Amino acid sequence: MVGNTYWLSNRAANLRVPTQAIICSSVILRSKEELKVTTVEYSRIGAEIAAIRRSNASLQEQIRRIASDPVSIESAARERLGMVRPSDIVVPMKSTRAVSNFGTLWFVR
């Protein structure tokens, strides 16, 4: 009986080791998968940030140009606001694309 009790307790100890190894390997595999997903997400967000920074730099350049270049200022005023110079002759024309929010107008000097 004493020998049988030792065998049972030893058997239970032997079963705990493989169970612990299975749990550890399961945790490790799950952690590796989470790391892969996180790495892909990190790369995607990094690429998105780089694209937004490029767009921001382009917009900053456009702001600088519109604010300081007289030709750009006039072009923006004509295209976006439909403004004309007092010496311009405005001739309304039908077109498939709108030049401004105020309708389709072509400007002649």
Write down the pLDDT at residue 89.
84
Of residues 79 and 33, more confidently modeled:
33
pTM tops 0.75, yes or no:
no
- Residue 103's region, left for phi above 0, alpha for psi from -120 to 50, else beta, is left
Q: Tell me the percentage of the chain whose pLDDT exceeds 70.
A: 71
Of residues 46 and 98, more confidently modeled:
46
Give the pLDDT band (50/70/90) at residue 31.
very high
CB atoms within 10 A of CB 98: 11
Give the residue among 109, 102, 68 at the shortest CA–CA distance from 86.
Answer: 109
